[in-house]
Amino acid sequence: MFDWLQNFADWLIYSVFAIEQHSKLGDALNFFVFDTLKIALLLFLITTVMGIVNSYFPVEKVRNFLSRNKLYGLEYLFASSFGVITPFCSCSSVPLFIGFVKGGIPLGITFTYLITAPLVNEVAIALFLGTFGFKITAIYVGTGILLGIIGGYTLGKLKLEKHLSPWVQSIINNSHTEEELIEEKLSLSERFPNILKEACTIVKGVSPYIIIGIAIGGLMHGFVPTGFFENYINTGQWYAVPLAVIMGVPMYSNAAGVIPIIQVLVAKGVPLGTAIAFMMGVIGLSLPEAMLLKKVMNWKLIAIYFGTIAFFMIVSGYIFNIIL
């Protein structure tokens, strides 16, 4: 599918720049050129498609739908699916979390969205598809949605509303039903220029993460000796998956920055489930997110949220190692 990109990368590095093939520098630069172009292309295409979906399901409609309808448990699936089609990292999804709480959506459903949005979105799907192929991408997306549903449902059953901050409590108590906005009826052809513009904005916004992540991945690909990571993280060590999640939390990034690194970790011998658990820790939980959440909840609820999600991430890592 991407042979033409690989041929271009080979021509650019080995012919134009005359760098020796299979050298450390050559392999690193070839990896960087090929993956940067491939991921940018996939990201733009999938973001455009998701932009079309988003244009027909704006945030206000979703919030009103979830808060005014009884869906008999399907609201968790709906919230998780909505998290998939919104390109937010763990920090940027917090403002929408506040909007959900303000709109009267139950806390468990809101947590479902907060869990899923940074883990699985069009950026992550594009990067995963280009890096690991369709089968692993499908398993990852399904796991992310299930993680959001189970995590949100579990947190919802714990009745944690009392741990929301006084600021949020006052918003909930004083909020009024928002008036319905009159939406202008636009055809797809009329919406498409704005969709393309938004797609370009998203690609531009994450491009630094893509470049930095792939650059690190390229350096690891070309210069890190084979077997280096196996000495520290492998399936023979029961604590490898929990350690990977714990190590990932302080290393805040989004999918664009970490997936290229994960690709190289797997190539260097780290089990896929362990690598994905690390990735989930990086993009699904972060110290900056904890600081933002402090505005809307107390430290006890933050600890419960982080602990619950970290547990499910660890379980997912073990499951991935078993099935893959």
**Which pLDDT tens digit goes with each residue over 68-108?**
555 666 888 888 888 887 766 665 566 667 667 766 678 88
Domain-embedded: residue 214: yes
Domain ranges, residue 116:
3-175+187-323
Domain-embedded: residue 181: no
Report the pLDDT averaged over residues 159-180: 68
- Alpha-carbon dihedral 61, 63, 68, 70, rounded to 10 degrees: 110
What pLDDT score was predicted for residue 295?
A: 72
| Average predicted confidence (pLDDT) for the chain | 78
- Count of domains observed in the chain: 1
What pLDDT score was predicted for residue 17?
A: 92
Q: CA separation (Å) from 87 to 53, 181, 201?
A: 12, 24, 12
Tell me if the pTM is above 0.75. Answer: no
Report the pLDDT averaged over residues 194-208: 79
What pLDDT score was predicted for residue 92?
A: 59
Domain-embedded: residue 297: yes
Domain-embedded: residue 29: yes
Contact 186, 315 (CB under 8 A): no
What pLDDT score was predicted for residue 303?
A: 92
Where is average pLDDT lowest: 53-57, 130-134, 235-239, 241-245?
53-57
Could you give the CA distance from residue 215 to residue 74 in angstroms, rounded to a whole number?
41
Domain-embedded: residue 182: no
Domain-embedded: residue 180: no
